Homo-oligomer: A and B are copies of this chain.
Amino acid sequence: MLLSGGLDSSTCLAIARAQRWRCHAISFDYGQRHRHELVAAAAVAGAIGVAQHLVVEIDLRSIGGSALTDTIDVPKDRDEQQIGGGVPVTYVPARNTIFLSFALAWAEVLRCRDIFIGVNALDYSGYPDCRPEYIAAFEQLAAHATADGGRWRIHAPLMELNKAQIIARGLELGVDYGATHSCYDPGPDGRPCGGCDACLLRAKGFAEAGARDPLRRRFR
């Protein structure tokens, strides 16, 4: 289970647990400016319950090319058209491919054949590695890449849900969204900036779900 500590991956974990999977969570300390999400990942892993939580250090700063890992500013206060238009500068080149590769390696060691990832194609249409074709291609690769070959399954249960639907599903399952983290450019204490695409999509999602974001209470 790829677990960033964000709203999507936390909901994805809750869905897998509700389906009775025993989950091993993997997070990455990759030089992200929103490193605070790792605190959230640990809190979420503890609250929802995992067999094990592994944090792997990898250096994506040396590769750069993204506002999340490089000296590029995180865009703020963009409107819906801007957020939906093309690949944003917060796209980290090949990030999900790198993350899934590590998950594949760990799954091979653990002798698991199922990997969960909380991508969804609707709200982040600008990210190529969040689409169903991409997930299918990774499943194909996994079958050829591993020592015992055979069938691998990459589960993406949020693929066809929008943010409001994800939140509604998570609330049904009792996810404490106050423990999650979405902001790309938080303060040192984890306070969300309120203006980056991730904050804006989160706020819109809660509004459309008719729910109140408990994170706003925490940082009032």
Contacts and interface: CB of A to CB of B under 8 A. Distances in A.
Most buried by B among A56, A93, A95, A137: A93
Interface string A31-69: 000000000000000000000001011111011110000
Given A54-B62, A145-B134, A94 B101 contact: yes
Contacts of A145: 94, 96-97, 128-129, 134, 137
A102 interface: yes
A108 B65 contact: yes
A116 interface: no
A131 interface: yes
A145 B131 CA distance: 9
Contacts of A128: 144-147, 149
Copies held by the complex: 2
Contacts of A21: none
A138 interface: yes
Contact of A105 (B93, B100, B109): B93
A133 B105 CA distance: 19
Interface in A148-164: 149
- Most central of A64, A87, A105, A134 by chain B CB within 10 Å: A105
Interface residues of A, number: 42
Nearest to A110: B65
A146 B58 CA distance: 20
Contacts of A129: 144-146
Closest 8 CB pairs of A and B: A65-B109, A94-B105, A93-B108, A93-B105, A87-B147, A134-B144, A98-B101, A97-B101
Interface of A: 54, 56-60, 62-65, 87, 91-98, 100-102, 104-106, 108-109, 128-129, 131, 133-134, 137-138, 140-141, 143-147, 149
Given A56-B63, A93-B109, A95-B105, 10 more contacts: A57-B62, A63-B102, A87-B147, A93-B104, A94-B102, A94-B104, A97-B105, A97-B145, A128-B149, A140-B141
5 contacts: A58-B58, A97-B105, A97-B145, A128-B144, A140-B141
